[in-house]
Amino acid sequence: MNTSKIREHMEVIGSCGNKLGTVDRVEGSSIKLTRDADGEHHYIPATWVERVDAHVHLDRTTGAAKQHWETESAEASA
């Protein structure tokens, strides 16, 4: 997946139509999402991206993505 179209603050949408999160930035071959309510960043592989328009659309549901995303807590990044 060419990540050049992915921009900060774009919403990330699962194939189910639900919002997974918001793009913080692209880091290598991963997309870093903004912190959630628990203060954690989550990372998803760019290979999960099906297409990019006004949003980043994934090839899987938000539930499936949450089962396999990687997490970094606020303490770990400090």
Q: Which domain CATH number covers 54?
A: 2.30.30.240
Q: Which domain holds residue 20?
A: 3-77
Token output for 35:
């912190």
Q: Once rounded to an integer, what is the mean pLDDT over residues 12-23?
A: 98
pLDDT of residue 3: 87
pLDDT of residue 78: 46
Secondary structure in 3-state letters for 37-74:
CCCCEEEEEHHHEEEECCCEEECCCHHHHHHHCEEECH
Tally of domains in the chain: 1
| Contact of 13 with 56, CB cutoff 8 Å | yes
Chain segment 22-78, per-residue pLDDT in tens:
999 999 999 999 999 889 999 999 999 999 999 999 999 999 999 999 998 555 554
pLDDT of residue 73: 56
Token output for 5:
């179209």
